[in-house]
Structure 1
Amino acid sequence: MAAFHRRSPTATGIAAAMSLALLALADAAPAMEAPPGWKLAWADEFDVDGLPDPAKWDYDTAFNRTGWHNRELQYYTSARRENAEVKHGRLVITARKEALASMPDYGGQAYTSARLVTRGKASWTHGFIEVRAKLPCGPGSWPAIWMLGTGGKWPADGEIDIMEHVGHKPGEILGSIYTNAQNWPRGTGKTSKTTVPGACGAFHDYQLTWTNDRILVGVDGRNYAELANPKDGDYDKWPFDRPQYLLLNVAVGGDLGGAVRDDSLPWRMEVEYVRVFQPAR
């Protein structure tokens, strides 16, 4: 989920100058696994019922009053089980048709949801990340599993979208990687797509392999998107030698989510686990 998808005029010559490309890979790509010798560094198996573990997760509510990026329609709550709850071994993020007008940061939204982040709790530089999840398919739903740089400057500090899905196109999974040179405001954004039949009815493994050489995005052991490190020292092209944190959320509507069909709510993204592997030290 790009932090800002709003378009601005394309910078002249940017596309031609880009030496990095996000590549769609063939269906026959080799299975994606943690590199040999890498060890589990962080995980949440969601095995304790209640609110998400506060030692691992925080809530992003920063733009509730002013409105969220991409013209999204949700109000993101904090520590509210109706929107984010661990139950029966799963994290459930639920988007609902409701207005919380009594909240001090209410911005007029007619929907609630949750945006969980590991920011300030855990971040990583390089790793193999796997998130096993089942997605909602209601028209207007926009679930995402993604990462942002801890420096807080978008897109300069990089963004990795491990999974995006919109309910208007059930089963179409999007993977994107953004940098200062490759992003929507400059008209140079690159997104790869793959089809996952049953993405809304069954759990699938959404995966990221991130090394010093390249970033691979995949699902169920099959890579479908790649960004190679040019190794020319240009931070605008490769900001991925610095920490990133993880985000899990279900957005409502917006530029990508599209028109919302209210009778399809509530929407639920269910997550069985999040696992992060890194090189053994």
Structure 2
Amino acid sequence: MSGSTRLNGIIRAWEQNKPAFTCFAKVDKLTAQEMSDAPYDGVVFEMEHNPYDVSALGDALQYMLNRKTIASSGSVAPSVTPLARVPANGIEMNQSFAKQVLDRGVYGVITPHVATVEQAYNAVAACRYARPKGAALYEPKGARGDGPATAARYWGLTQAEYYAKADVWPLAPQGEILVGLMIESPEAIENLDDMLANVPGIGFCLIGEGDLSQALGFPRQYEHPEVLDAMRRIVETCHKHKVRVGNPHTNAKNVDRLLKEGYSFLMAAPSRSYGVVGQGRELAGY
């Protein structure tokens, strides 16, 4: 798929060999409006630690649409790609949260605390529609319920067009949905190689530095040698399997290091850190 027809701006950046810059945001209309023309490639609506409210998410997604930008770009997609982090941990083996945020129209789902092959498989399956057994790209077997009307309308597509694009990237090259797994425990690190080797369709892994540092006994000491070593192991394993890896605490002091270490999903603080995005893009050469 060419960059001109790609709807998901995060995937577009990666296909152009660029890092993607994103941030967390609250699920409210004012924040969404501010994010609609922010310099990010994507925004992650935070619904794990903030209230899980799909009605508010639906409103926020509408406020992400900047009609002037749509008219000038010729693309029906928001210029900043919306994803959602859902509340259920991987161990809960939940599918309903992913289904509901996808049905509102987000372009990706981040599942927190994924630590095993089974949990990773479920996170991907929850974002895929069912298909006949033996069909191409059958695994992971889709578990997403069929209710595409709102999402198709939000994406500016017919339902048939939506079905063709509503699969997980990079398993389906034309897919526009990103599955993000949060890696935030020693168990997850030990199992990560098996997870990435055995579960196709994982778009990226996002390191949960807060919980990881807690589990290692160094709460929020992000520069502690043991925390950095654990993060290094995650990055190396992701690179081994050619899976993108993200960092949720990108700032002016560490962005150069993170880029050099191979992070390509970089999350800066909202609005007040727009300069970090510009700095990061300059360091990345674009």
Q: Name the one with the larger helix percent.
A: 2
Same fold (TM over 0.5): no
Which structure has more relative contact order (CA 8 Å, sep 6+)? It is 1
TM range (shorter): under 0.3
Q: Normalising by the residue count of structure 1, what TM-score does the alignment of the two structures yield?
A: 0.25
Q: Name the one with the larger strand percent.
A: 1
Q: Normalising by the residue count of structure 2, what TM-score does the alignment of the two structures yield?
A: 0.24
